[in-house]
Amino acid sequence: MDQTDELSGAPVAGAAYPTVPYRPAAVPAEEAAGRARAFCEAMARRRTVREFCDRPLPEGVVEWAIRAAATAPSGANVQPWRFVVVTDPERKRRLREAAEAEEREFYDRRASAEWLEALAPLGTDWSKPFLETAPAVIVVFEVHKGPGTPRPYYTKESVGIAVGLLLAALHQAGLATLTHTPSPMRFLNEVCDRPAEERAAYVIPVGYAADDARVPDIRRKPLDQVMVRL
């Protein structure tokens, strides 16, 4: 039997666990930087999109992307995430209406002038039509301790890594995404029929960008502003 702490259920240091050989993909050293660069260049074309068309998604693409997301590391390997894929038009309508109600509060009353000034160049406002026009909306929940669920560790960090993999996988499949984070998000438990121990963290519309979609002309920081070598 695995050794765990009786109160928290956490593994005890030094406990014995079965292991399997680690066999990573063999990449010749001379190809490593080239592969990393190719991935970087592909991801550099990823942009947050707010204008979607109603073109159907290819069969299985969302499922494979979520499988990729679920390979993320997590605290104590608890894997504290739930990916709810919303495609039903009526449920998407309810999601949009509830999200826009919270966004109106944010833009009209809750957001500081400094925050609104920072958002102004991106052209965002309370209106969120993409929650209906995108063929699928993935609502990502953090799974906290509840009936039949173990205590999670580093929940936000674990779910954040998983969402990063999800966005990368969907982009690699040629799809557009947006990370929407209305606050508060409790309405999503009702819209998505999820229990109280699950807490919504991200709302991600998924689909193909509209033919006339436009995105803000932004720039990413250069490497010397984001990396420090010691």
User: Which of 187, 201, 206, 191 is CA-nearest to residue 133?
Assistant: 206
User: Domain extents for the chain?
Assistant: 51-210
Residues 211-217 have a mean pLDDT of 93
| C-alpha pair distances (Å), 209 with each of 48, 139, 186, 189 | 10, 19, 28, 28
Query: Do the beta carbons of residue 162 and residue 77 sit within 8 Å?
Result: no
Whether pLDDT at 1 is above 50? no
Residues paired with 176 in a beta bridge: 207
Whether pLDDT at 9 is above 90? no
User: Which of 158, 198, 157, 204 is CA-nearest to residue 182?
Assistant: 204
CATH number belonging to domain 51-210: 3.40.109.10
Residues 161-170 have a mean pLDDT of 98
* DSSP for residue 9: -
Across the chain, mean pLDDT equals 91
Whether pLDDT at 152 is above 60? yes
Q: Hey, is 35 helix, strand or coil?
A: helix
Q: How many CA atoms lie within 13 A of 98 on its CB side?
A: 18
Q: Cα separation of 107 and 115, whole Å?
A: 10
Alpha helices (H) in the chain, listed in sequence order: 29-44, 61-69, 89-105, 113-119, 130-133, 155-172, 187-191, 223-226
pLDDT score at 58: 97
Q: Which of 38-42, 68-72, 93-97, 121-125 has the lowest mean pLDDT?
A: 121-125
* DSSP for residue 212: T
